[in-house]
Structure 1
Amino acid sequence: MNKRLNKYISDTGLCSRREADKLIEQQRVTINDKLPELGTQVGPGDKVRVDGKLIGAVAADKSDRIYIAYNKPIGITCTTERHIKGNIIDAIGHKERIFPIGRLDKPSEGLILLTSDGDIVNKILRAENAHDKEYEVTVNQPVSDRFIQRMSKGVPILRTVTKPCVVRATGKFTFTIILTEGMNRQIRRMCEFLGYEVTKLKRVRIMHLDLGKLRPGQWRNLTEQELNQLNNAVKGSSKTAQAPTPQKTPAKPEKSLWSAQNKRPRFERKNKPV
């Protein structure tokens, strides 16, 4: 069966489809020693090379794919760029080429999945698939009932309103939150809007996968059962991203827990670098 060139490359775990398109545009890719165009199809027997290196096709049953769970420590950056100090690839030191599914901020810790399977990455990351992610959070002041209610209903950040979510107090300064979306630094921004500062953030679960006994810095391969469950969970996932429908922010936001002298804006206008 023929396959689009960018998908053929991304399926090998070399890079994403978008990055593959850039490689093609930069004339770093050849098919049978000829320069292809964007959208070119790769057929059985075709030899694809990137920077002169032969790229083998993915096994039909994906038996050659890597799927691991990693307990990311604080200070590790979720990037595949090896020149960045403390990048997640060097931290794991896996012999195969893998990349993270999603990300965790540098000051956060906990569960993150890594793989060499480009298809499953795309499916898991689709926001409309609403896959659960659970976090344990510690903040700098006592967690009130009002705080829990506001977090649960949705908070205006980044010119939208977060989706309703499950939030439960677990201690004087701690709570758990289950999200089905993944905005940039979402939990930290939500807490900040309500006058709280996150002092510790740990992801403990993604869908049916949890940290288990993994210590910070440790990783393990997913079991066959876990992988089957994962594939079933994303089976109906769309292959192309749908543009999110922006939610209107309240015309007159309810007074938050901020003190009168706090001058921070209620709505953040752009993402801040990690």
Structure 2
Amino acid sequence: MSDHTRTMPTIRLSKFISGAGVCSRRQASRLIELGVVLVNGRRGVHIDQVSQQDLITIEGKLIHHSPPILYFIYNKPIGIDSVCNPNDPSSIIHFLPTISDDQRIFPVGRLDKDSHGLLLLTNDGELCQRLMHPDFYHEKVYRVTVDKVVTEDFLEAMRSGIEYGNIKTRPCQLMQVNEYQFDITLTQGMNRQIRRMCQALSYRVKDLFRFRILGLQMTGLNSGDNRALTESEIRDLYDEIRAS
């Protein structure tokens, strides 16, 4: 079936009304019984199956059904570009979870093609704006493997902020893991920032893995896998954003 002839998913009328935020599903059923709900100009009944293509009114007021807000984490493998470009076979757009024909989710921010780890996927525009806006200092944590032994001088220079090009990076937190690895916590997200910081100190990044955004952890997911966030994870994420 072509995209032009495919019908949109349908749901029960009462569920449509409650999903639009008008009232509870039980209250929606009462409105249907009262005869004040019209579906495409006719009186609605409980067994009606409707979609966003239908015109639903309650006492003459048009009801708009917003799709549910969805949140996933994705363990992005190396080699996948987080830019949504349908013409690029390596673009993340070809690897996103399939939700429905009329609903899509997208990555929040970027993780460069040579790096791997945690990407947040959502259709929540407010969350995207708050996480990506430079005025909000949201923490993102990476484990970095470099080509030379990590020294105290290197760690202190990175912590203080590095100058490259026409910029100087914000001070950040570093913790050494072993001779060649350290964890770095950034509160900004400039293009290839960690790689350029290391390069300015004559180090080369061999592996870059992001494992935390705010309190959201990359645990229990194999490379290339995704899962929906739990209700508590979503709640904690928003609590942290509102507190910033």
TM-score by length of 1: 0.63
How far apart are residue 235 of structure 1 and its match? 2.5
1:102 partner letter = G
How far apart are residue 211 of structure 1 and its match? 0.5
Give every structure 1 segment of 4 or more consecutive aligned residues whose post-TM-superposition deviation is greater than 6 Å: none
Find the counterpart in structure 2 of residue 130 from structure 1. 137
Pairwise mapping of residues 1-274 of structure 1 onto structure 2 (< 5 A)?
Answer: 45=62, 57-58=65-66, 64-95=68-99, 96-235=103-242
CA distance in 2, matches of 1:82, 1:234: 31
Contact 1:89–1:98 (CA<8 Å) still a contact in 2? Answer: no
CA distance in 2, matches of 1:147, 1:72: 28
Find the counterpart in structure 2 of residue 31 from structure 1. none
CA distance in 2, matches of 1:58, 1:121: 17
**Bigger Cα displacement from structure 2, 185-194 vs 120-129:** 120-129
Larger-Rg structure: 2
CA distance in 1, matches of 2:85, 2:230: 28
TM-superposition CA deviations, 1:171-202 (whole Å, max 9, x none): 11111100000111000000000000001000
How far apart are residue 57 of structure 1 and its match? 4.6
CA distance in 2, matches of 1:215, 1:205: 15
- Secondary structure of the residue that 1:92 maps to in structure 2? coil
2:79 partner letter = G
CA distance in 2, matches of 1:179, 1:109: 16
- Secondary structure of the residue that 1:128 maps to in structure 2? coil
TM-superposition CA deviations, 1:71-112 (whole Å, max 9, x none): 000000102221111111211342240111000000000001
In structure 1, the gaps of 5 or more residues are: 1-43, 47-55, 238-274
How far apart are residue 227 of structure 1 and its match? 0.5
2:240 partner letter = A
CA distance in 2, matches of 1:184, 1:202: 15
How far apart are residue 58 of structure 1 and its match? 2.4
TM-score by length of 2: 0.71
Find the counterpart in structure 1 of residue 4 from structure 2. none
Contact 1:138–1:173 (CA<8 Å) still a contact in 2? Answer: yes
**Matched positions, count:** 181
**Structural RMSD (CA):** 1.6
Contact 2:177–2:183 (CA<8 Å) still a contact in 1? Answer: yes
CA distance in 2, matches of 1:171, 1:178: 17
- Secondary structure of the residue that 1:120 maps to in structure 2? helix
How far apart are residue 236 of structure 1 and its match? 5.8
1:181 partner letter = Q
1:73 partner letter = P
CA distance in 1, matches of 2:66, 2:139: 29
TM-superposition CA deviations, 1:116-175 (whole Å, max 9, x none): 111110011112211110000000111111000000000012412111110111111111
Contact 2:96–2:105 (CA<8 Å) still a contact in 1? Answer: no
Question: Percent same amino acid among aligned pairs?
Answer: 39
